[in-house]
């Protein structure tokens, strides 16, 4: 299976930035499902209509906070962003398998995801990591996660052209 990237040139992601992402990830790892859920509940607090983007939420009668599918999905997104950071450092680019990236692009187009959604997700991600990191939180940590997220989104958007 071939690997693809959304960016032609290698991205500069410093050792320090990678360390900052991993440092905060290590704090969340043990309860990553809970943090991921908090992350997505923040998204829906800001933009309740974003719930309509998730097929598994449409006919669900389970409260959001108890929805195992939501928790699993949220964890995937959180882990993927963290992995993007590691890849930026080791490979200078976001590496996602061809098939995965195409599927991610297609599913985001089909669900009706627009730019504003990616922005709300980014804000919610950073707020969640801020809360999880406590005193460890810094502008540099925010920057490192932001870069990783932005490049992951760029890779997905690159496959969102209809």
Of the listed pieces 22-30, 117-125, 130-138, 145-153, which binds a second copy according to CB under 8 A? 117-125
- Positions in 29-48 near a second copy (CB under 8 A): 45-48
123 is a contact residue toward a second copy (CB under 8 A):
yes
50 is a contact residue toward a second copy (CB under 8 A):
yes
Of the listed pieces 78-86, 97-105, 110-118, 140-148, which binds a second copy according to CB under 8 A? 110-118
For a second copy, which is the closer residue by CB, 44 or 100? 44
162 is a contact residue toward a second copy (CB under 8 A):
no
The pair of structure tokens assigned to 133 is 């990191």
Contacts of 52 (CB under 8 A, 6+ apart): 58, 112
For a second copy, which is the closer residue by CB, 31 or 45? 45
CB-CB contact of 42 with 128 (8 Å): yes
Q: Calculate the dihedral angle through the C-alpha atoms of 89, 94, 97, 103, rounding to the nearest 10 degrees.
A: 150
The neighbour count for residue 70, using CB atoms within 10 Å, is 23
Question: In the chain, what is the greatest distance between 2 CA atoms, to the nearest angstrom?
Answer: 46
Residue 156 class from Cβ within 10 Å (0-12 exposed, 13-18 middle, 19+ buried)?
buried
For a second copy, which is the closer residue by CB, 64 or 86? 64
Q: What is the DSSP letter of 151?
A: H
Of the listed pieces 26-34, 114-122, 136-144, 147-155, which binds a second copy according to CB under 8 A? 114-122
Tell the smallest beta-carbon distance from residue 23 to a second copy (Å). 24
Distance CA 25, CA 40 (A): 17
Tell the smallest beta-carbon distance from residue 105 to a second copy (Å). 20
114 is a contact residue toward a second copy (CB under 8 A):
yes
Binding site for a second copy (CB under 8 A): 45-50, 114-117, 119-120, 123
């Amino acid at each position: 299976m071939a690997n693809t990237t959304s960016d032609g040139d290698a991205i500069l992601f410093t050792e320090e930035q990678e360390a900052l992402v991993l440092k905060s990830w290590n704090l969340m790892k043990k309860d990553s499902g809970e943090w991921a859920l908090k992350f997505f509940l923040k998204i829906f607090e800001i933009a309740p209509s974003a719930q309509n983007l998730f097929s598994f939420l449409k006919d669900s009668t389970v409260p959001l906070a108890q929805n195992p599918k939501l928790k699993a999905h949220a964890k995937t997104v959180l882990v993927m962003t963290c992995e993007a950071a590691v890849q930026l450092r080791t490979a200078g680019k976001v590496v996602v398998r061809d098939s995965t990236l195409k599927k991610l692009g297609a599913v985001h187009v089909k669900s009706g995801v627009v730019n504003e959604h990616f922005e709300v997700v980014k804000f919610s991600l950073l707020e969640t990591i801020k809360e999880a990191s406590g005193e460890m939180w810094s502008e540099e940590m925010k920057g490192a996660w932001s870069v990783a997220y932005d490049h992951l989104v760029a890779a997905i958007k690159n496959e969102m052209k209809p």
